[in-house]
Amino acid sequence: MSERLQPGDVAPAFTLPDADGHQVSLSDHKGRKVIVYFYPAALTPGCTKQACDFTDNLDLLADAGYDVIGISPDTPEKLGKFREKESLKVTLLADPDKKTLDAYGAFGEKKNYGKTYLGVIRSTIVVDEDGKVAHAFYNVRATGHVAKIIKDLGI
């Protein structure tokens, strides 16, 4: 389990497959601001709500200079089904070995109904044009999170 990122940290580099199996790297977005959000599982109610919220606000975020990338431990195939079923427009990346999730502090101990287990910590990291962490939000809620980010970023 790695440390949580702080503003000013260099965002860990990654290259992961998207829903079509194409490799996407954080460095592909150099010179742009990137909202990287981590979610537990495609095709589940909370994650669907969050992905739809990002899709619904994608034009607003893009106009403000932000790209949006969602990362989960799902396979590219499952991400493809998720994208098609929900008409998602955000870039979805697969991290089945959880190395990127771990590097961003988005995988670790969680508690649910008194039990402790390892899992994806719903998190959002905003990376600036220079590849540094501008904002780090951990243990966020699926519902209302996108509206809060828009407000926090002053968009």
- Residue in the block written with tokens 């955000």: 90
Active site residue 52: no
Residue 151 DSSP class:
H
| CA–CA gap between residue 18 and residue 79 (Å, rounded) | 8
- Residue in the block written with tokens 């493809």: 80
| CA–CA gap between residue 104 and residue 106 (Å, rounded) | 5
Token pair of 43, please? Answer: 């095709």
82 exposure class (CB count in 10 Å sphere: 0-12, 13-18, 19+) = buried
Active-site annotation holder among 16, 36, 47, 61:
47
Could you tell me the maximum CA-CA distance found in the chain, to the nearest angstrom? 44
Q: How many CB atoms sit inside 10 A of residue 4's CB?
A: 17
Residues annotated as catalytic (active site), given as ranges: 47
